[in-house]
């Protein structure tokens, strides 16, 4: 179990702020992309990359590294920001998001960018990929962990539940799935489109350990990661309650920011609110 001290907590909080600043800058420069769901996941991704996961940018192919699969592939900006800050590629490259010839595509491509473990974007496939990774780790007698981040709207995909069923059946305790539960998807509120509730009960029905947390409280996120490591014989799902567009008041809980990039004026307003 990892110690959660004041320094560790302050570090991940500062990293989350930096990720949000980079997200705004990247998307403003590209003029397109998914802002709301990238911002809602920033605290979770910061805790993963700067406290929880065992990865090495100098040796990205290290066999015993932990793996992260961004199942909600449209949230690629938050992943790119974390990988750049972690040293997988130069930060200056963030400015090339979605530009012709850039490895920073609209959805992650493992063939083009160091640190990306799975090419995702077709919803439901990322968690399936993560389940396969966990099964492979077991067959190879490896102890690394596999993490995957899903969108709440993604849970409407039937493929998700096939993967969840398989993970529970095979007792894949090296697997941790996190649901970015911000309540909004591209077509509106989950409750108005096709609610996946009861989410926690569904995971439990497939023999998963389930934790529910505030997805913007870094201490709760870190405590949940610690708790998941103690579970043996079952995968763990963390249902993280978040706010779409978190950190920028004019974006928060607004469905129109699902796939809209900020203009110059909005970028400046966001930069002020994010402290830079």
Instruction: Count Cβ neighbours within 10 Å for each residue of 236-262 and write b for 16 or more, e otherwise.
Output: bbbbbbbbbbbbbeebbbbbebbebbb
239-263: per-residue pLDDT in tens?
999 999 999 999 999 999 999 999 9
The whole-number pLDDT of residue 1 equals 84
162-201: per-residue pLDDT in tens?
999 999 999 999 999 999 999 999 999 989 999 999 999 9
- Residues 6 or more apart whose CB falls under 8 angstroms from that of 26 comprise 33, 77, 80, 81, 94, 95, 97, 104
pLDDT at 16 over 70: yes
55-72: per-residue pLDDT in tens?
999 999 999 999 999 999
The band of 276, judged by pLDDT with boundaries at 50, 70 and 90, is low
Of 89, 176, 88, nearest to 133 by C-alpha is: 176
CATH placement of domain 6-273: 3.40.50.970
C-beta of residue 170 within 8 angstroms of C-beta of residue 143: no
**Proportion of the chain above pLDDT 90, given as a percent:** 98
135-167: per-residue pLDDT in tens?
999 999 999 999 999 999 999 999 999 999 999
CA distance linking residue 35 with residue 115, whole number of Å: 21
């Amino acid at each position: 179990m990892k110690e959660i001290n004041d320094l560790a907590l302050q570090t991940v909080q500062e990293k989350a702020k930096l990720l949000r600043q980079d997200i705004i800058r990247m998307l403003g420069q590209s003029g397109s992309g998914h802002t709301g769901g990238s911002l809602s996941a920033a605290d979770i991704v910061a805790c993963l990359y700067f406290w929880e996961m065992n990865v090495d940018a100098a040796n990205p192919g290290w066999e015993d590294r932990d793996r992260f699969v961004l199942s909600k592939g449209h949230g690629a900006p938050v992943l790119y920001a974390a990988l750049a800050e972690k040293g997988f590629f130069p930060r200056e490259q963030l400015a090339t998001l979605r530009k012709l010839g850039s490895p920073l595509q609209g959805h992650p491509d493992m063939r083009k960018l160091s640190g990306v473990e799975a090419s995702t974007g077709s919803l439901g496939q990322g968690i399936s990929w993560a389940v396969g990774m966990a099964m492979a780790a077991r067959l190879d007698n490896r102890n690394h962990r596999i993490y995957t981040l899903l969108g709440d709207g993604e849970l409407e995909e039937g493929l998700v539940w096939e993967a969840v069923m398989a993970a529970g059946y095979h007792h894949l305790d090296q697997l941790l799935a996190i649901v970015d539960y911000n309540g909004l998807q591209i077509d509106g509120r989950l409750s108005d489109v096709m609610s996946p509730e009861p989410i926690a009960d569904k995971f439990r029905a497939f023999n998963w350990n389930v934790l529910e947390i505030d997805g913007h409280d870094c201490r709760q996120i870190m405590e949940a990661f610690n708790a998941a490591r103690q579970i043996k014989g079952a995968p763990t799902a963390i249902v993280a309650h978040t706010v779409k567009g978190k950190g920028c008041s004019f974006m928060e809980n607004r469905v129109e920011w699902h796939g809209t990039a900020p203009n110059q004026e909005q970028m400046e307003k966001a930069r002020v609110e994010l402290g830079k």
